[in-house]
Structure 1
C-alpha cells in the first residue's frame, strides 16, 4: 500500500516532526520489555530483527505526514498544540497495523527493505503485532485528552480513526473477493478503492484537521479530499505495477483486480477480453505472464484511461478543499501533493 517511492516535498517537510511524535507516543504507551513490542519497533523501521538499531532510517511515512499537513493547513505551525502530533502518530500506527496484516494476506515476504513481520516471526505473531499497533493508534488518539482536547473532540477523533479502520477492512474484504471473479466493473473497483485506500488517507486528513481545531464541516471536507487522494494514488500505483517496473507485480500474479485490468475486462473488445482472460484466469500465473497482460492492456488504452481517472480523482480532492477556507499557500501545497499522488 505504499503509494510513492518519493513523497512530494510538503510531506517530506513533515517527516522529522512525525518521527518524533511516533517515538514519543510509543515510549509513553509501552513500558513492557515483552518482545512483542520489539516486533512493533521492527515494523516501524527502528530496529533490526536482532534488536539492534536499524542501519538505515525508516522510509518516509505518508499517512502521518498527511495528517500533519492537514493540521498545518487549519492552524499555522506552532499554533496546533500537541494534539496534532498525537493524531499523526495514530494515523501512521493505524496504517502500519493494516500493513502487517496485508503483507500476510498477500504473502508478501518483504515490507519496504526488510523481511515482513509474518515472514520473520510467523503469521500468529504477525496478527498480534498488527492488532497491537491498532491498539497503540487508539491510545494515541485518547492521549489527545491529556494534551488539552475536550472529551467531545477526543471522542470525535476516536470515531474518525475507528470508522477509517472499519472501512479499510470492508475494502480489503472486497478486494480479496474480487480475485477469482470476472465480473468486476470500474464502479465496483472504485467502491473498493474508496473503502480500502480512501478511508485511511481520508481518516488521516480528518484527524489532522480535527486536532488543529477544525469544525466538523472542515474536517469532513478533509476526509472527502483524502478519500479522493487515496483513490488517485492507488490508480497511479496500479499503472506503475504494469508499466513502471514497480516491485508489486505480485498483485498481478495474485490476480488482484488492478484498475487497468478492470477497465480492459469491461471495455475491451471481445477478442481483447478473451486474450486477457486466457492469461489472467489461469490457475497459476507465472512472472512471464505479466508481459502478456501488458501487451493486451496497451491495445485497449487502459493506461491512458487510468491516468486520466487518477487525475480526475486528484482534481476532485482539490475541489473538496477549496470550500474549507484554506490559505493560498496551503492550497498550493495540496496541489503539489495531489499532482504527485496522481502520478502527474
Structure 2
C-alpha cells in the first residue's frame, strides 16, 4: 500500500510522460505545460486511495488515475478560455501563452488522451468504468452551462446553486472514488457509498472554496481574495445574502452589484461587511459542516476495516482542514 504523498509522486511521474513522443510539438507542448504547472492531484489520489481500501496494488490503476487528472485539467483549460482568465496556479493560461485556437485544439486532444488512458483498465471493467466516466463528463458540461446561465440571472435559488456545484465539481470527485472501487472489485453497495461520500465531500469542498474567497488568508488560499465579489459571481454566499437581507441591506448590496465603476478593494470590504451583518459567514460554515457530516454516513457504511480507511480519511481531513 502507498500513502497519499507516495501516490502523488507517482501520479506526477506518470503525467510527465503522458504525451511524450507524439507530434506535432505545437499541439502537445501546451498539454505538457498544463500538466506541469502544479495542482493537488486530488482526483487521482482519491481514486487510488479508494482502490487501496480493497486491494494492495494501487499502481495497477495508474493509467485510469492519470486519465481522471488529464480530464480535470482539460476542463480547466477550456474554463480559462471561456472566462478569458490570465492566470492558472500563478502561470499564464494556455490561450494567453499561445492563443485561443491552440487552447481549443490542445484541450480537445487532452480529452481524447484522457479516454485513451481510462480505457487501459482491466477489460472486464471497461464498460462500467467508461459508462460512469462518460456520464460524469456530460454532467460536468451541464454544470458549466448552468454556471454560465446564472451570470445572466438575478433569481438563482440556493437549491439551483447546490445542484450546479454538484454537477460542476462534486461528481468528478465522486466518479474518481467509484472508479477506484470498481477497479478494485468492491461490492456494488460499497462502490455506491463511496460515490455518495465523494459527492458530499465535493459539495463541502466547493462551498469552502466560496467561503475562503471572501474570508481566506491570501497567503494560505493561494490566490487573491474577493474575486467572486468583484465579478458578482452567484455563489452560495451572494444568493443567501440577497435572500436574507432587509430592504436597506439589499439596496446597499444591489448598489455594489450594479456599479459599473468601483474600487475593487472597497467593494470587497463593503460586501464582506454586509455578509457579516446578515450572518452569511456563519451560515456558510454551517452548510459546509452539514455536507461534511453527511459524508461521514457514507464512509461509515463502507464495509471495510477502519484501519484500511485511515489513509483515505486522513487525506480527506487534510483536504478539508477538518477532523473526521
One fold, TM greater than 0.5? yes
- Which of 280, 285, 304 is 1:302 aligned to? 280
Q: CA 1:340/1:271 → structure 2, altered by over 3 Å: closer, same or farther?
A: farther
1:2-13 matches, cutoff 5 A: 11-13=4-6
Evaluate the alpha carbon distance shift between residue 108 and residue 86 of structure 1 in structure 2; reply closer, same or farther with a 3 A threshold: same
The alignment status of 1:38 with 2:10, answered yes or no, reads no
RMSD across aligned C-alpha pairs, in angstroms? 2.2
Looking at structure 2, the residues matched to 284 and 138 of structure 1 have their Cα atoms a distance apart, in angstroms, of: 45
Correspondence list, 1:1-344, <5 A: 11-23=4-16, 25-27=18-20, 31-45=22-36, 58-76=38-56, 78=57, 80=58, 82=60, 84-144=61-121, 149-151=122-124, 153-244=125-216, 245=218, 246=221, 247=223, 249-283=226-260, 286-288=263-265, 289-344=267-322
Inter-partner Cα distance in structure 2 for 1:201 and 1:180: 28
Distance 1:333 1:134 in 2: 30
1:128-159 per-residue CA deviation (whole Å, 9 max, x = no partner) reads 12211111111011112xxxx134x1111111
- In 2, the alpha carbon distance for the partners of 1:222 and 1:285 equals 46
Contiguous gaps of at least 5 residues in structure 1 = 1-8, 47-57
- Asked if 1 retains the 8 angstrom alpha-carbon contact of 2:147 and 2:164, the reply is yes
Contact kept, 8 Å, 1:21 with 1:88, in 2: the verdict is no
Q: Provide structure 2 residue ranges, at least 5 long, that are not aligned to the other structure.
A: none
User: 1 CA distance for matches of 2:3 and 2:211?
Assistant: 24
**Residue 157 of structure 1 contacts residue 207 of structure 1 at CA under 8 Å; is this kept in 2?**
yes
Paired residues, number = 315
Q: Matched residues in 2 for 1:220 and 1:21: separation?
A: 28
| CA separation of 1:31 and 1:190: change in aligned 2, threshold 3 A | same
What is the rounded CA distance, in whole Å, between the counterparts of 2:109 and 2:150 in structure 1?
28
Deviation digits for residues 48-73 of structure 1 (CA, Å, limit 9, x no counterpart) = xxxxxxxxxx3432211111111112
Q: 1:334 to 1:300 in 2, by over 3 A?
A: farther
Q: Which has the higher helix share?
A: 2
**How far off is 1:286 after superposition?**
4.5
TM-score (norm 2): 0.89
TM-superposed deviation, 1:238? 0.6
Q: 1:343: Cα distance to partner?
A: 4.2
1:252 shift after superposition:
2.8
Confirm or deny: 8 A CA contact 1:71 1:209 kept in the other structure: yes
Contact 2:64 2:120 in 1 (8 A): no
Do the aligned residues in 1 keep the contact of 2:193 with 2:299 (CA within 8 Å)?
A: yes
- Distance between the aligned counterparts of 2:319 and 2:258, measured in 1? 30
> Is contact 1:253–1:285 with CA below 8 Å preserved after alignment?
no
Q: 1:338 to 1:186 in 2, by over 3 A?
A: farther
